Amino acid sequence: MRIHILGICGTFMGGIAALAKAAGHEVSGSDANVYPPMSAQLAALGIALHEGYLPEHLKPAPDCVLVGNALSRGNPAVEAMLARGLPYLSGPQWLAQQVLGNRHVIAVAGTHGKTTTASMLAWILECAGLNPGFLIGGVPRDFGFSARLGGSRFFVVEADEYDTAFFDKGSKFLHYRPRTLVLNNLEYDHADIFPDLASIETQFHYLVRSIPGNGLIAVNGADANLARVLEKGCWTPRETFALTDADWTARHISADGSTFNVIHDGKTAAMVEWELLGLHNVQNALAALAAARHAGVEPRQAAEALIRFQGVKRRLEVRAQIDGVTVYDDFAHHPTAIATTLAGLRKRVGKERIIVVLEPRSGSMKMGVHRDTLAASLEAADRVCVFQAANVTWDVTAALRSLGARASVSTDLERLVHNVAGEIRHGDHVLIMSNGGFGGFHDKLIEYLQRNAAPGSERAEP
């Protein structure tokens, strides 16, 4: 079957492309924004990529068009698809019909931590010899790709609450019918499609309705919003995880979260010493351990996998170390995620300077939904440099006023690269935060630092 994917470079649709290719289909795709890591993954698979959404990309006519949720009416490719009567599905529909079938689906849902927790779970099952399939909205470093079919009945999926397609406004995760569900946390986000928190809670309630009575819901026991969701009805056994009292908790946590003991039902079940930072990742680990046990992997074996877990690309990923300066790439785009990532890095580096370079790019950020909490989320930084693109129309400078001279806003990307590079000194940690390509800022800054580094001092990470 010939499949053409509209929006193929999104993390989800790129994963769908990889699964379709592995299943033996001929796959091509179009996207307006082609950037790593997904573009590199698709190129390595031999999948043809087209820049833009030209109707010609749909010739000869594919057997099926898979439509990403970033596409809407008025898009030239969408209009051509509809006018020609081409068969089409959403990515989640195709996944449910062609891949998930009778498999034991383990889904990870929540506002924060989905990618990391799903990656942990896939790695735990892999180390246990279970050869899971997975589709994750990022690239786990242990695998080097975001999706695979796998060779067992287990399939791990990052379960996003965002809407499915222009013709299906229900959340993506409603298509997956998991047997094991992780509910990490729940906050207001995606203001471009959800008017309020209650509307997101309704989608989560529908998800809970789909979990069978012999399944498991591993839920953050400290999250009041999730508790409210479950109060609407729950027909499935549940286990709680949290850093306070819960079925799964942690003790003897080091300041930066790099070591901790796993406590299950009040007893020490395992110890973890790993490379990840932050209390949020300790909690992600507890969620993964609970879900893995439901799949048959005991805590001690799962913890051994976590000790070797390398994390996820673009989650506090070290991109380069040059002349004593460390450059990180991070996907955080919600104030809670920004604050927790910064807190973990601060615990690790102590009093060394942290320079945050932030692109407010998500739908909620561009709308200014988080303007009142953004400055507080950046308090742990020594310097904050924000890029304000033309589509960010709210007053970013005013929102950061409480940070004083530590914060500045730029509307010129090239000037921002020059200004940030000019401020950096030996021992600094530069944390670049964006959920997109950021106009190539990462590479531009690294190239600038390499050109100006002392001879023999530069070292870029792979």
Output the DSSP codes for 270-318.
EEEE-S--SHHHHHHHHHHHHHHHHTT--HHHHHHHHHT---BTTSSEE
Does one domain contain both 211 and 302? yes
Task: From 330, 282, 339, 348, select the one nearest 117 (Cα to Cα).
Answer: 282
Residue 266 lies in a domain: yes
Look at residue 37 in the predicted model and tell me its pLDDT. Answer: 62
- pTM for this entry: 0.86
- Domain termination residue (choose one: 258, 288, 307): 307
Look at residue 462 in the predicted model and tell me its pLDDT. Answer: 44
CB atoms under 10 Å from CB of 63, counted, come to: 12
Query: Which range of residues forms the domain containing residue 398?
Result: 317-460
3-state secondary structure of 384: strand
Residue 156 lies in a domain: yes
Residue 297 phi, psi dihedral angles, 5° rounding: -100, 120
269 close to 247: Cβ distance less than 8 angstroms: no
Residue 447 lies in a domain: yes
Does one domain contain both 332 and 231? no
Residue 192 lies in a domain: yes
Integer angstrom CA distances of residue 59 from 21, 49, 77, 218, 315: 19, 14, 11, 46, 38
Report the greatest alpha carbon distance in the chain.
64
Q: How many folded domains does the chain comprise? A: 3
Residue 214 burial by Cβ neighbours in a 10 Å radius (0-12, 13-18, 19+)? exposed
Q: Could you tell me the CATH number of the domain that includes residue 123? A: 3.40.1190.10
Look up residue 59 and give its two tokens.
């010739």
Does one domain contain both 59 and 105? no
Look up residue 193 and give its two tokens.
């499609």
Integer angstrom CA distances of residue 209 from 63, 252, 332, 410: 34, 37, 30, 46
Look at residue 36 in the predicted model and tell me its pLDDT. Answer: 65
Does one domain contain both 188 and 330? no
Tokens 């890029």 locate to 387
Mean pLDDT by 10 residues, the chain (462 residues): 95 93 96 75 88 95 96 97 98 97 96 94 98 94 93 96 95 97 92 90 97 98 97 97 96 94 96 92 97 98 96 87 92 85 90 95 82 93 94 91 94 92 93 88 91 62 48
Integer angstrom CA distances of residue 43 from 16, 27, 47, 60: 14, 12, 6, 21
Partners of residue 325 on adjacent β-strands: 322
Euclidean distance between CA atoms 73 and 269, whole angstroms: 52
Does one domain contain both 261 and 384? no
Does one domain contain both 165 and 69? no
Residue 312 lies in a domain: no
Does one domain contain both 189 and 140? yes
Task: From 18, 125, 33, 134, select the one nearest 66 (Cα to Cα).
Answer: 18
34 close to 194: Cβ distance less than 8 angstroms: no
How would you classify the pairing of strands 2-6 and 64-67?
Answer: parallel
Integer angstrom CA distances of residue 34 from 30, 196, 434: 9, 32, 15
Residue 387 lies in a domain: yes
- Domain termination residue (choose one: 56, 91, 126): 91
Q: Look at the chain and count its residues.
A: 462
Look up residue 304 and give its two tokens.
């051994």
Does one domain contain both 144 and 253? yes
Look at residue 455 in the predicted model and tell me its pLDDT. Answer: 59
- Domain termination residue (choose one: 307, 333, 364): 307
